[in-house]
Amino acid sequence: MAKQVVITGIGILSSIGKNLPETIESLLASRSGIGTLKHLNSPHQDEFPFAEVPYSNQDLLDIARLTDPSNYSRNTLLGMIAAGEAFQHARLDRLPRLKTGLISATTVGGMDRCELYFNDFLTNNSKNQYIDVYDCADSTERIANILNIRDYLTTISTACSSAANAILLGARMIRRGRLDRVVAGGTEALTSFHVNGFSALKILDKMPCRPFDANRNGITLGEGAAYLILESEEAAREGDREIFAELAGYGNACEAYHQTASTPDGKGALLAMERALNVSGLDPSAIDYINAHGTGTDNNDIAEGLAIERLFGEKIPFVSSTKPFTGHMTSAAGSAEAILSILCLTHRMILPNLNLKTPMPELHFTPVTELRKNTDVSLVMSNSFGFGGNNTSLIFRKSTD
Task: Calculate the alpha carbon distances from 103 to 13, 97, 157, 228, 359 in Å.
Answer: 17, 19, 11, 10, 38
* Residue 203 C-beta-side C-alpha neighbours within 13 Å: 17
User: In this structure, how many other beta carbons lie within 10 angstroms of the beta carbon of residue 314?
Assistant: 7
3-state helix, strand, coil in the chain (%, to 5): 35, 20, 40
C-alpha to C-alpha distance for 398 and 328, rounded to whole angstroms: 26
Q: Which helix (H) or strand (E) segment is 390 a member of?
A: strand 390-398
- The helix/strand count (H/E) of the chain reads as 12, 10
C-alpha 354/C-alpha 359 separation (Å) is 12
Distance CA 320, CA 333 (A): 15
d(C-alpha 363, C-alpha 76), whole Å:
40
Residues in the chain: 401
Collapse the DSSP code of 75 into the 3-class scheme (helix H, G, I; strand E, B; otherwise coil) and give the result.
helix
- 75 contacts 108 by C-beta, under 8 angstroms: yes
Q: Which of 89, 136, 328, 344 is catalytic?
A: 328
For 265-365, strand residue ranges (E) read 289-291, 318-320
Spot the catalytic one: 160, 194, 209, 344: 160
| Catalytic status, residue 293 | yes
List, in order, residues 6 or more apart from 65 with CB less than 8 Å away.
none
Residue 328 known to be catalytic = yes
Q: Indicate the angle between helix axes 333-346 and 20-28, nearest 10 degrees.
A: 70
The helix (H) or strand (E) run that includes residue 248 is strand 245-254
342 near 10, Cβ under 8 Å?
yes
Q: How far apart are CA 237 and CA 215, in angstroms?
A: 49
| Catalytic annotation present for 364 | no
Catalytic machinery residues: 160, 293, 328
